[in-house]
């Protein structure tokens, strides 16, 4: 469970760093340099722990072949991140290249590695495992929305319509992963989600989604500055991270998953869910 926690915290920190990097590049001013450095520092604290944990797991031969490949991808991408940050600060990096490094070469393999680790947790019902994996996907789709709107919905962007279409797809994907999570989650896991809807900020985001989906634009979003948008959606992402921490605890074998006793899955059931989770992994590549 400690490995999952380290990966989860690093995943979240890099999501935040990616989002603010898009803000920094969009605004194209050193006004936000100190804040950007602050996000680097927060990520580095988690990255340091992650590197130590990967080294420990490798030295003790606790990783299977697929996990080793994912760990290697993450380590190589972290080296690239160090260089990319320097060019980012000087506005010498294109937002697309920065976005891709965070999204596809760091966050995606981290989610896949988390999925592999989850399968090794003993005495956990597969529905709870799958629900957790769908939740990770939901959280990342919200993170992508934050970054893509920051990057794409600028007045000077000639591809604004393409960005809107991309956001519509992301909104649909969020709904899909949210519904998939709720369809498999235990009673206790479902109860955690209620907290996310106890704030007016979520209502504002919901209205923005409705406007973008039906009208192809949002007057609320148009009136927002980039920093305001970042702050608004970050509240949701931070809440999702807090919920994810609670969900992770429900994966432990000695935790009561629901009001009803859940039998330990058989080998065949476990195999069936391995196939399901493999498909989830493919969806994030």
Q: Which band of pLDDT confidence, cut at 50, 70 and 90, is reported for residue 194? A: confident
The structure tokens listed for 61 are 């031969």
Work out the average pLDDT over 119-148. Answer: 91
Work out the average pLDDT over 101-122. Answer: 94
Check residue 270 and give its pLDDT: 42
Give the range among 5-9, 226-230, 261-265 with minimum mean pLDDT: 261-265
Residue-by-residue DSSP string for 10-27: HHHHHHHHHHHHHHHHHH
To the nearest 10°, report the CA torsion of 230, 234, 237, 242: 170
Neighbours of 70 (CB within 10 A): 22
Please give the Cα distance from 89 to 273 (Å, whole number).
Answer: 43
Q: What is the pLDDT of residues 26-64, one digit of tens each?
A: 999 999 999 999 999 999 999 999 999 999 998 888 889
Work out the average pLDDT over 60-75. Answer: 93
Check residue 132 and give its pLDDT: 94
Check residue 159 and give its pLDDT: 64
Q: Which band of pLDDT confidence, cut at 50, 70 and 90, is reported for residue 197? A: confident
Task: Give Cα separations from 35 to 20, 21, 24, 154 (angstroms).
Answer: 8, 10, 9, 21
Check residue 238 and give its pLDDT: 95
Domain layout of the chain by residue ranges: 1-120, 125-285
Residue-by-residue DSSP string for 75-136: HHHHHHHHHHHHHHHTT-S-HHHHHHHHIIIIIHHHHHHHHHHHTT-TT--HHHHHHHHHHH
Work out the average pLDDT over 147-174. Answer: 80
Check if the beta carbon of residue 107 is closer than 8 Å to that of residue 11.
yes
Task: Give Cα separations from 191 to 77, 194, 202, 224 (angstroms).
Answer: 36, 6, 17, 32
Check residue 285 and give its pLDDT: 43
Q: What is the pLDDT of residues 80-89, one digit of tens each?
A: 999 999 999 9
């Amino acid at each position: 469970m400690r490995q999952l926690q380290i990966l989860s915290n690093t995943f979240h920190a890099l999501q935040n760093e990616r989002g603010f990097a898009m803000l920094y590049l969009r605004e194209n001013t050193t006004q936000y340099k100190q804040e950007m450095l602050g996000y680097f520092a927060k990520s580095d604290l988690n990255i340091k722990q992650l590197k130590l944990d990967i080294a420990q797991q490798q030295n003790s031969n606790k990783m299977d072949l697929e996990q080793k490949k994912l760990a290697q991808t993450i380590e190589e991408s972290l080296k690239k991140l160090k260089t990319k940050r320097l060019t980012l600060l000087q506005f010498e990096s294109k937002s697309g290249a920065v976005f891709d490094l965070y999204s596809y070469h760091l966050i995606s393999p981290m989610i896949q590695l988390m999925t592999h680790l989850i399968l090794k947790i003993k005495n956990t019902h597969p529905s709870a495992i799958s629900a957790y994996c769908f939740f990770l996907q939901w959280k990342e789709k919200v993170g992508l929305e934050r970054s893509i709107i920051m990057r794409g919905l600028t007045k000077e962007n000639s591809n604004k319509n393409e960005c809107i279409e991309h956001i519509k797809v992301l909104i649909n994907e969020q709904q899909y992963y949210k519904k998939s999570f709720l369809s498999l989650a235990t009673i206790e896991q479902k109860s955690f989600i209620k907290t996310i809807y106890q704030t007016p900020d979520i209502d504002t985001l919901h209205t923005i989604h409705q406007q973008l989906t039906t009208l192809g634009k949002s007057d609320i979003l148009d009136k927002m500055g980039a920093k305001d948008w970042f702050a608004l959606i970050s509240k949701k992402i931070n809440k999702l991270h807090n919920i994810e921490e609670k969900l992770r605890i429900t994966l432990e074998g000695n935790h009561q998953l629901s009001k009803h006793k859940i039998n330990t899955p058989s080998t065949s059931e476990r195999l069936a869910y391995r196939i399901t989770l493999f498909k989830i992994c493919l969806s994030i590549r």
